[in-house]
Structures are given as C-alpha cells and as structure tokens.
A and B are shown apart, each in its own frame.
Chain A
Amino acid sequence: MNNMVFMILIIAGYLILAPVAGFFLEGYDRVISSRLQRRMGPPFLQPVYDLIKLFEKQAIVVNNLETALVLGFTIFTIFSGCLFFAGGDILLVFFAFSLADMFLVLAASSANSPYSSLGSQREFVQMMAYEPMTLLTAIGFYMCCGSFNVSDIINQDVPAIVRTPGVFLGYCFILIIKLRKSPFDFSTSHHAHQEMVKGLTQDIAGNVLGILELGEIYEEVFLMTIVVLFFIWKNPLSYVLGIAVALLVFFIMIVVDNVFPRVKWEHMLVSSWGVTLSLAGSNFLILTMLKIARI
C-alpha cells in the first residue's frame, strides 16, 4: 500500500517537474548557443514564452488524423517517462518510447506537403541509426545490474558506468540524433532554416505544434535522465553526481551543435552504427571475457 502511494507521488512529481527541468534545459541551450555565437540571445524563459504563444494561436489542421497522431506522440512520451520513473522495465520504456516516435513519423507522413513527407522519411533513417544503440543501452544495464527494472538498477553497489563506459559513450553519441542537434538534425531542427524548411513539423501548426513541443520537452528530460541513470548507485549523493554529469553532457551537445555542419544521412548511419558496434560491442566483449557481467 505504502509502496503504491509512493509510486503515485513519484509519477505526479515527474509530471509536474519534468516540464520545469525541460524548460531549464531548453533555455540553457538557447542562451549558451547564442553566447557561443557572440550574441545576446533570447531571455532564459524564451522556451516558455514560445510554448504559451503556440497555445494561443489558431490551429490550422491539415487533417484530423494528424492531430490525433501528434497527441499520441505526446501521450506515449509522457507514458514511457511515467513507466521509467515508477521503476518499471527499461526495455519496455524504450519500446514505448519508439512507439511514440512512430506516431510522430505517421503524423508527418499523413500531411500532403512534400517537405513533411521528406521529413518523415528522414526520421525513419534517424530511427534506424539510433535504435540499435538504445536497445544495447538497455542490455548494458541488464548486464551490469542483472535486471531490466529501473528500481533494481538504482540500488546497485557500484554505478553502471563502471562496467559499461563504452555503452555510455555510445548512448551519448546517439543522444545527438535524438536531441535533433547538428550534425544529425535531418528530419527537423530547432534552428531556423534548413534545406527542407521545417521537415517533420512542417504541417503541424498553432496549438497542435504546442502539444508536440510539450511532448519533446518530456522526451528531452527522459533522455537526459538515462544519462543520470548511468551514475546512480545506492548512495543518495550519486544523484547529484548524475545530474552534474548530465548537465556537462548537455553542454557538450550544445558545443557540438554549434561546431559541426549537417552531414549526409549515409554518414550518420555509418557513423552511428560504427560507434554502436565498436564502443558497445567491445564493451560487451570485455564484460563477457572478464566474466564480470551479471547474467
């Protein structure tokens, strides 16, 4: 019973605090980016203003299906986050998460605009590039903790990073794709222009776009919590360490975003699979050879 109440509290906390954390990350991103470009940049709360504005705009709905699918994206993203914070099965969390992304691709391809359908095709390529690594991340947690459950992973004697540094680096690499950062921002980008305008979100306007952005904010927070998860063990202080590392990783992402130009999709596919195979693969090989994997 007590356990149940505790779980509900955690989920409620996640639902309320995740947007706060997400807006912090977004604001941090935009301010740091503009400072890197020697600009003043927008106010720190700009992402909040943007979202509120989107909800005040008229919705231009291309077809009703699109709205339903965008809603599906946001709901499934939030759902997989809830599952994660309730200490659920990390494999299931990742699958629910891919499903959410699938909804987004379908939403974009349901519109008639050529930019939008091009965006959805590119999003598929992106999914192909990062999906193997997300799966291996879950397996990595299993190999060092002996369980897929988040509640077990955070109760280990040593943090996961000790046994799976390769998996961690691989995960950081695909984080660039997931966070839609240059050089891998094909399907859509948070930057102004690109060769196919807004790609994936081309035909999503007004408050429907607001719902999508809200989902992306939950997504961002979830992705960064996986980084935190690598550094957590029994000690409560490890949460501080984890959050500090996650902020550092996010900062590196921003620098990468500002330094590298967009590459071709072939490069993305080859490099992300290469990184997955070499870093995560060698990590698993060493774990098995030294017989320190806990399976």
Chain B
Amino acid sequence: MKISKSPWLLHYDASSCNGCDIEVLASTTPRFDVERFGIINTGNPKHADIFVITGGVNEQTRQVVKQLYSQMPDPKVVIAAGICACDGGIFKDCYNVSGGVDTVIPVDVYVPGCAVKPEALIDGVVKALAILDEKREAMKNHAVCEVNYGGKTKEE
C-alpha cells in the first residue's frame, strides 16, 4: 500500500494576508472535501505528512517555520500555497519579508494564485502525494533517513 493514501496535513500561516488561509480552509469544507483523498487537516506537526504554508515568511515566522518543519517525521513534503509563499508576491520588496518559503526550508510543490484556488490547491496536494511516495521509497533504501529533499538545504 502506498503511504500517500493517508496524507495528514499541517497548515501554517507565515505572514499571509489570510486570503490564502481562507482558501485552504475552504478546501476542507463539504464543497471541495479533501477528505475524499484521506486528507485530514491536523494541527500537530508530529502527525503531519504534508506541510502547507501560506504567505512569504517574515522575520518573526522564520524560526517557527523551521521548527515546525523539523518536528515533522519523515517522509514529508512541503507545499507553498499562494504566490506569496512561492516567491514573496506583492510583499516581496518589504524589508521584513524573506520572499518565499524556499528561502527557509526546501519546498516540493509550488501552487501559485492570489489567492490560491481550492481546485489548484487540491491539484498541488495530489502532486505532492506522488512526491511523498517517492520519498518513502528513497527512505526504504537507506537504513537511516538520508532523503534528499531537493531545493535548498540548511547550509546553503
């Protein structure tokens, strides 16, 4: 059985304008119903497989994002939801905004849109599921977890 049949999701608002957050929550409502794919919106990083971040990370949320990411057990994937999370969006030039989630932690799927549409988000999650399975396979081949998450590493 593939691990992607039961993805639990953690949603964090890293200085988004709340537009994207509302859309993320909308995708869990009966109209879009992400639970069809077994997705549960859990608030606990230790139970989560998918990390959905909205907003371009600012100085205050930077540490939080890093910590949440490190608390999630492997294998895990990160989705940047909304154009702010992808590269900073309209807040890109603000002095306190890092400009995109990938400046802090490695991102697997970028879902653009301002605000991100629930359909696009579900599409992004389904893409992320395929990556989750790949990572699980990679993990099986290593005794210890040495998964290359792509994107930038902490040192860079």
Residue numbers of A with Cβ under 8 A of B are 34, 37-43, 46, 49-50, 52-53, 56-60, 192-193, 197-198, 201-206, 209
Residue numbers of B with Cβ under 8 A of A are 1, 3, 5-6, 28, 30, 33, 35-38, 40-44, 46-47, 49, 71, 73-75, 136, 139, 145
Chain A residues with Cβ under 8 A from B33's Cβ?
Answer: 34, 39-41
Q: Contacts A198-B47, A205-B46 known; A57 to B30 CB distance under 8 Å?
A: no
Chain B residues with Cβ under 8 A from A60's Cβ?
Answer: 46, 71, 73
Q: Contacts A38-B30, A52-B1 known; A57 to B43 CB distance under 8 Å?
A: no
Contact A206–B73 (Cβ < 8 Å): yes
The complex places the Cα of A46 from the Cα of B6 at a distance, in Å, of 7
Chain B residues with Cβ under 8 A from A52's Cβ?
Answer: 1, 3, 6
Chain A residues with Cβ under 8 A from B30's Cβ?
Answer: 37-39
22 contacts between A and B (CB under 8 A): A34-B35, A39-B30, A39-B36, A40-B33, A40-B35, A41-B33, A41-B35, A46-B5, A46-B6, A49-B38, A52-B1, A57-B74, A58-B73, A58-B139, A59-B73, A60-B46, A60-B71, A192-B43, A197-B43, A197-B44, A198-B42, A209-B47
Total inter-chain residue pairs, C-beta < 8 Å:
77
The complex places the Cα of A43 from the Cα of B37 at a distance, in Å, of 8
The complex places the Cα of A53 from the Cα of B71 at a distance, in Å, of 17
CB distance from B141 to the nearest CB of A (A): 14
Chain B residues with Cβ under 8 A from A41's Cβ?
Answer: 33, 35-36
The complex places the Cα of A137 from the Cα of B42 at a distance, in Å, of 36
CB distance from A210 to the nearest CB of B (A): 11
Contact A193–B41 (Cβ < 8 Å): yes
